[in-house]
Chain A
């Protein structure tokens, strides 16, 4: 399925489901649970009554207030990470029905329209589980440090405006700036492999998220100053060359960020950087 087809198929399916959603129904939530690192995973199911406008978050809230499994066994509230509930903070990412996405924007009407339909919730697959659906995404933020994802300003003293920027260039940068570091692109990437050993993070594949952020800062007039450093990091092990062009990243990105374009652009920068290094580099 191509990207556009996948998108419209998905949208059509969700729309159709919304139209046929049954009021007053209950939906089964099958949740993969784990009490902590090194503990075994188990599945628990809950029958949750669905109110108008319910999403995965409100359903998990309901379970927290009524933590009894479908077999009638009392259990603990499910643990998961969430914050804004508007799909801008990136916290509540999890694997829902086999696909990674935010749970706040996952409306039950769109995925489980009928009585007894099943919703499957799992933690993200590429990060170590802390408990239940909560995973440790420290590696994702570490990757931003790897590419020096910042503009090296002199300081916070008043020094006038920043560089002028054209309307179109701002629009291009804005599209990249919306990245909320949720990690969907990484979870869906066949080249991004779970790595619990922190010492290996800096040589493991960095993923579309940080590649796109590197491009974002390379495109800023002042941010450019660190371009050579960023390209050094991205040319090495785990950098841009480890991309396998499966292009899942761009399809699962909830913000529609042109990640594959960023990958191409950084590929070009890496090529030019290497040529420059060869002919002009001092090292």
Chain B
């Protein structure tokens, strides 16, 4: 084999495996963290430390979420983390699209579940890229012209501004807002599937699961993880889609005003 072909082959292998790896670390790990954080809007009421005068279940949830957002925002080397994530995401997306267009799905003729998953992995990939772009552009880069109602998300008022963005106004659902909520619902579902299924195939790619029973067992684990993540994802979307802007705004003001320190021991 010539030197050139040799390095081509090494590069090919490296790119392929990096593609697989980046899907899990850091992207997959980030997805888990992100969904865990966001889903606090649904279960943060359990957090008794987020307590203040007159706080109910929902108030505590809003407070918890707000705290998590601020915690992340204050992390050291946040920029480094972000750059890593951007790089990984960009790499995974560009290569993913390139790989996906090289295949030709045939679920019409071969109606096997694994074949549907193959097709779905690619569809969710395309859709996921689109969704992430929208998600980031509207919330992170402040492309408010893409947001119905034009609400600009801010990390100081994470719950309320996001609720407004996903509902289409600060005053409950608008028709376009409903579409955005649905879009979010589909987007997060797609990404969770993409991750869980990708985790399953990665184990074959890397040669971790070989025998059919092993692949099946690992499949159950991936499905379980996927189901858990899916639950969190849906809880997040539904949580924010049904969140009352006024209430969230009020809690956020209280938090900023009263300087509640959630890390302190509860009284």
Contacts and interface: CB of A to CB of B under 8 A. Distances in A.
Q: Is B truly associated with A?
A: yes
A266 B109 CA distance: 28
A263 interface: yes
A9 B17 CA distance: 37
B216 to A, nearest CB: 9
Contact of A245 (B110, B204, B207, B210): B204
Interface of B: prevailing SS: helix
Point out which of A3, A247, A258 has the most chain B C-beta atoms below 10 A from its C-beta. A247
Contacts of A258: 212
A235 interface: yes
Contact of A252 (B9, B110, B113): B110
Interface residues of A, number: 42
Given A264-B204, A274-B13, A246 B8 contact: no
A248 B102 contact: no
A242 to B, nearest CB: 8
A120 to B, nearest CB: 11
A190 B215 contact: no
Interface residues of B, number: 39
B122 to A, nearest CB: 8
B112 A247 contact: yes
B1 interface: yes
A58 B210 CA distance: 41
Contacts of B56: none
B102 A193 contact: yes
A269 B204 CA distance: 11
A13 to B, nearest CB: 13
Given A1-B111, A191-B103, A247-B114, A264 B9 contact: no
Contacts, number: 119
A3 B105 contact: no
A99 interface: yes
A61 B77 CA distance: 75
A260 B115 contact: no
B1 A232 contact: yes
B105 A190 contact: yes
A235 B1 CA distance: 13
A190 B103 contact: yes
B112 A248 contact: yes
Interface string A239-269: 1011111111001100000101101111111
Given A244-B103, A267-B206, A260 B215 contact: yes
Nearest to B111: A1
B205 interface: yes
Nearest to B15: A241
Contacts of A188: 106, 109-110
Contacts of B13: 235-236, 239, 241, 270, 274
Nearest to A272: B207
Given A193-B102, A237-B8, A260-B215, A265 B210 contact: yes
Interface of A: 1-3, 6, 98-99, 188, 190-191, 193, 205, 232, 235-237, 239, 241-248, 251-252, 258, 260-261, 263-272, 274, 277, 283
22 contacts: A1-B112, A3-B112, A191-B103, A235-B9, A242-B16, A244-B99, A244-B201, A245-B204, A246-B112, A246-B118, A247-B115, A247-B118, A248-B115, A261-B211, A264-B204, A264-B211, A265-B207, A267-B204, A267-B206, A268-B207, A270-B207, A274-B13
Interface of B: 1, 5-6, 8-10, 12-13, 16-17, 99, 102-106, 108-115, 117-119, 121, 201, 204-212, 215
Given A265-B210, A274-B13, 13 more contacts: A1-B111, A1-B113, A6-B111, A188-B109, A232-B1, A235-B12, A241-B17, A241-B205, A243-B205, A246-B114, A247-B115, A260-B212, A264-B207
